[in-house]
Amino acid sequence: MNRQIRLKSRPIGAPTADNFEAVDAPMPSLGDPPAAAARTGGAAGPAWSPVLRRTLWLSLDPYMRGRMSDGPSYAAPVAVGDPMCGHTVSEVVESQNPAFRPGDTVAGYDGWQEFAVSNGADLRTLDRTLPVSTALSVLGMPGLTAYVGLLDIGQPKAGETVVVSAASGAVGSVVGQLAKIRGCRAVGIAGSAEKCQYVIAELGFDACVNYKRDDFKQALSAACPGGVDIYFENVGGAVLASVLRLLNRGARIPLCGLIAEYNATEHVGGPNLRPLLVNRAMIKGFIVSDHSDRAPAFAQEMTPLVRDGRIKYREDIVEGLDAAPAAFIGLLQGRNFGKLIVRVAAL
Amino acid sequence: MNRQIRLKSRPIGAPTADNFEAVDAPMPSLGDPPAAAARTGGAAGPAWSPVLRRTLWLSLDPYMRGRMSDGPSYAAPVAVGDPMCGHTVSEVVESQNPAFRPGDTVAGYDGWQEFAVSNGADLRTLDRTLPVSTALSVLGMPGLTAYVGLLDIGQPKAGETVVVSAASGAVGSVVGQLAKIRGCRAVGIAGSAEKCQYVIAELGFDACVNYKRDDFKQALSAACPGGVDIYFENVGGAVLASVLRLLNRGARIPLCGLIAEYNATEHVGGPNLRPLLVNRAMIKGFIVSDHSDRAPAFAQEMTPLVRDGRIKYREDIVEGLDAAPAAFIGLLQGRNFGKLIVRVAAL
């Protein structure tokens, strides 16, 4: 059987366990026609050269909250009754595609399920000189998000101050470490004293401020004595408003996510924009999937940095596919510590 | 005597007549030392080659509200007791500076007063082939603001839709006409049916929507059937939120002003930023005084367009310096129709 976690109903506000349904579906087979395979991310071309794989690792990411709703967004929602979407690392079980052999480890977008089949156009073979789960974290979509947002939109210059929210998370941790490598002052914002301690002691940020502190505004100001040149925005809400007060002239704000607002059921206001005007500052939204052209440069720079330990990462591993819904609900509340990944099967 | 309108007190909320004071000051003379002249915009160098001039035209602009307050901003406030600041067109009365002769018409920044003296570094001689008041409107700071914001930040491409608020005003009217010249669809937003009629019939915009209509959101949406690629933002508040709903992917928002908020006494919220994220859109604040390097290109392109009538302008002339406070108070309420200029003296 192929265990799947399907979207059972669309959440109103924060997702609950009731919005998901665990189902034992039939095993997909190499003979499945392209139409069925398309659902699991396969690009159905004229030649059907299928690849069947077993999911080893499933990435859980905040953007999935958007896919659970059917409001206007940058990507189509998951259909009710379909498996939830998501990046995966898998082992090839059977293949009629000459590019993939049984036993290969591949990165794909197979979603919340144990097995998937496609013609392989959506797969990328991983080498195993680094832990393959890094393809979902520091060397995967979250890492590329940090790379594109900080370097291409933020355009950091040595000596500047870079602030990043969700600093202990998959994206924020890379933003701050890359900022340090570029000669910047890196200041994190995170949701607990333990996370802040990790961000400073392990990741090497210059400072990290707990946004739950009563004196958050003052503490953030003290952590940025030279003001803020780049704010990598992951969360929205009150944190954004606090950072805007500290902007330097010509500041840049790559807008990557607004996780604090994803579960909102009523209209959420935003920050007053006068600081942008007065400081000639810029906010620019971006979606990492637009920037796949940057993946080769990203991999070339980041892989040796990760291998040499100059960029560190932390994974928060959850055991078993059935644990995914609760882990995802916790992710939206900041309960994870490090990149949230589900171990679906052991290699 | 030198009639001046001075800042008597800082306004709380909307300015009132009580915040201004008309004073008959002594006439400045060529012998005034540089320290005194510096107050009227003169750059006091080692050689004192003074120019005395009489104000003909005084520009009234929304940014002056910011100069009346002493909160943090991009420029120092006017000191209480000093004449209000402002761009002026003047006639040279006396000169010891070889670059200026009596009778010359000059553009400067002499403020709300009848006479001023400086060493001339702050003056620019105007030719008189066009009405000299245009140096305060379509060919002056407001025109350059439109030019830099639309072209350098907005980067319009033929076929795109450009929306501009305060469309009948000094800046907005140039934004829309330049957008048309660049092959764009120009959609204005203004505060009366009469202004909208002018924007369409006289300025040649494709559409203009009255933001005071009950069905403003729907009317704006209908005026932008292809969505919004550039929004030139002058006003803030609810108008901005309505435009954000219509953004196309990759939209650009030059942020020029937030006049709807200038008189606020309480914290004003802003728009939710999710449309920027979903549409990979950008907001960028700018201050025209940073872009004086663009003045030559602006003058070269705009002067013939104005001369040939391809770019039209409308001036709302107020008679006499003493009328300036009431006119300025009305400007912040949208009561003017066209560029607000005070005729301080007839040539």
Query: What part of A 82-141 touches B (C-beta under 8 Å)?
Result: none
Phi, psi at A282, each rounded to 5°? -130, 135
- 3 state SS for chain B: CEEEEEECCCCCCCCCHHHEEEEEECCCCCCCCHHHHHCCCCCCCCCCCCEEEEEEEEECCCCHHHHHCCCCCCCCCCCCCCECCCCEEEEEEEECCCCCCCCCEEEECCCCECEEEECCCCCEECCCCCCHHHHHCCCCHHHHHHHHHHHHHHCCCCCCEEEECCCCCCCHHHHHHHHHHCCCEEEEEECCHHHHHHHHHCCCCCEEEECCCCCHHHHHHHHCCCCEEEEEECCCHHHHHHHHCCEEEEEEEEECCCHHHCCCCCCCCECCCHHHHHCCCEEEECCHHHHHHHHHHHHHHHHHHHHCCCCCCCEEEEECHHHHHHHHHHHCCCCCCCEEEEECCCC
Q: Say yes or no to pLDDT of B34 above 60.
A: no
CA-to-CA separations, B316 to A113, B60, B334, in angstroms, rounded = 68, 10, 12
One fold for B2-137+314-343 and B141-291: no
B269 contacts A273? CB cut-off 8 A: no
pLDDT confidence tier of residue A33, bands split at 50, 70 and 90: low
User: B276–A284: do the CB atoms touch at under 8 Å?
Assistant: yes
pLDDT for B194-248, tens place per residue? 999 999 999 999 999 999 999 999 999 999 999 999 999 988 888 998 999 999 9
Nearest CA to A37 out of A23, A52, A24, A25 is that of A52
Which of A164-173, A201-210, B69-78, B195-204 shows the lowest per-residue confidence on average (mean pLDDT)?
B69-78
Question: Does B281 sit within 8 Å of A282, measured CB to CB?
Answer: no
Nearest residue to A286 (alpha-carbon basis) of B282, B243, B157, B229: B282
Mean pLDDT, chain B, as a whole number?
A: 92
Q: Do A261 and B274 touch (CB under 8 A)?
A: yes
Percent of chain A surpassing pLDDT 70: 95
Instruction: Write out pLDDT tens, residues A291-306.
Output: 999 999 999 999 999 9
Q: What's the CATH architecture for B141-291? A: 3-Layer(aba) Sandwich (3.40)
Residue A291 CB neighbours (<10 A) = 18
With contacts defined as CB-CB under 8 Å, which chain B residues touch A77? none
pLDDT for B17 equals: 97
Distance from CA of A262 to the nearest CA of B (A): 10
Percent of all residues in chain B with a pLDDT value above 90, rounded to a whole number: 83
**Spatial distance between the Cα atoms of B82 and B41, rounded to a whole number of angstroms:** 12
Note whether A55 and A345 are within 8 A (CB): yes
CB atoms within 10 A of CB A47: 8
- Taking contacts as CB-CB distances below 8 angstroms, the residues of chain B near A63 are none
Nearest CA of chain A to the CA of B255: how many Å?
6
| Residue in A270, A274, A280 nearest the CB of B273 | A270
pLDDT at residue B44 greater than cutoff 80? no
CA dist A119 and A47 (Å) reads 8
Which of the following CATH numbers is that of domain A2-137+313-343: 3.90.180.10, 2.40.160.60, 3.40.190.10, 1.20.1050.10?
A: 3.90.180.10
- SS3 state at A192: coil
What integer is the mean pLDDT of B5-33?
92
Contact B72 A278 (CB under 8 A): yes
Across B13-33, average pLDDT:
91
Give the distance from CA A82 to its chain's centroid: 21
Query: In chain A, which residue's Cα lies nearest the Cα of B236?
Result: A273
Q: What is the rounded CA–CA span in Å between residue A26 and residue A289? A: 31
Percent of chain B at pLDDT above 70? 95
Q: Could you tell me which of A256, A209, A248, A208 has the C-alpha nearest to residue A229?
A: A248
Instruction: Identify the closest residue of chain B to A287 by CA–CA distance.
Output: B280
Q: Are B327 and B336 in contact (CB under 8 A)?
A: yes
On the CB side of A213, CA atoms within 13 Å amount to 17
> With an 8 Å Cβ cutoff, is A290 touching chain B?
yes
Give the pLDDT score at B31: 78
Over residues A111-159, the pLDDT tens digits come to 999 999 999 999 999 988 899 999 999 999 999 999 999 999 999 999 9
The confidence band for A37, taking pLDDT boundaries of 50, 70 and 90, is very low
> Would you state the pLDDT for residue A260?
75
Q: Is B269's CB within 8 Å of A272's CB? A: yes
Cα(A51)–Cα(A69) distance, integer angstroms: 30
User: Does the pLDDT at position B178 exceed 80?
Assistant: yes
CA distance A244 to A163: 11
Query: Is the predicted pLDDT of residue B326 greater than 50, yes or no?
Result: yes
Pick A154 or A272 by higher pLDDT: A154
Q: How confident is the model at residue A39 (pLDDT cuts 50, 70, 90)?
A: very low
Non-local (6+) Cβ contacts of A72 within 8 A are: B278
- Name the residue ranges covered by the structural domains of chain A: 2-137+313-343, 141-291
pTM of the model: 0.89
Mutate to test the interface with B, among A248, A283, A291 (most CBs of B within 10 A): A283
pLDDT at A35: 52
- The answer on pLDDT for B68 being more than 50 is yes
Integer angstrom CA distances of residue A96 from A1, A106, A345: 21, 15, 23
Q: Is B345 left (phi over 0), alpha (psi -120 to 50) or beta?
A: beta
CA distance A281 to chain B (A): 5
Please say if the pLDDT value at position B39 is more than 50: no
Assembly ipTM: 0.86
Is the per-residue pLDDT at B35 higher than 80? Answer: no
Residues 253-272 of A with CB under 8 A from B: 255-258, 261, 267-272
Q: Which amino acid is at B95?
A: S
Task: Count Cβ neighbours within 10 Å for each residue of B309-339 and write b for 16 or more, e otherwise.
Answer: eebebbbbebeebeebbebbbebbebebbbb
Residue A4 pLDDT level (bands cut at 50, 70, 90): very high
Contact A261 B278 (CB under 8 A): no
Rounded to the nearest angstrom, the minimum Cα separation between B295 and chain A is 19
pLDDT tens digits for range A84-104? 999 999 999 999 999 999 999
What is the C-alpha end-to-end distance of chain A, expressed in Å? 18
Element (H, E) at A67: helix A64-68
Q: Which residue has the tokens 């943090």?
A: B72
Using CA atoms, how far apart are residues B112 and B341, in angstroms rounded to an integer? 11
Supply the mean pLDDT for chain A.
92
Beta-sheet pairing, B2-7 with B20-25: antiparallel
* Mutation target among A171, A278, A279, A288 for the B interface, most CBs of B within 10 A: A278
Measured in whole angstroms, the distance separating CA B263 from the mean position of its chain's CA atoms is 17
- What is the CATH T-level fold of the domain B2-137+314-343, as seen in this structure? Quinone Oxidoreductase; Chain A, domain 1 (3.90.180)
Task: Using CA atoms of A119, A121, A125, A131 in order, give the dihedral in degrees to the nearest 10.
Answer: -100
Of B236, B281, B290, the CB nearest to A280: B290
Task: Tell me which of A265-274, A327-336, B236-245 is least confident.
Answer: A265-274
> How many angstroms separate the CA atoms of A138 and A145, rounded?
10
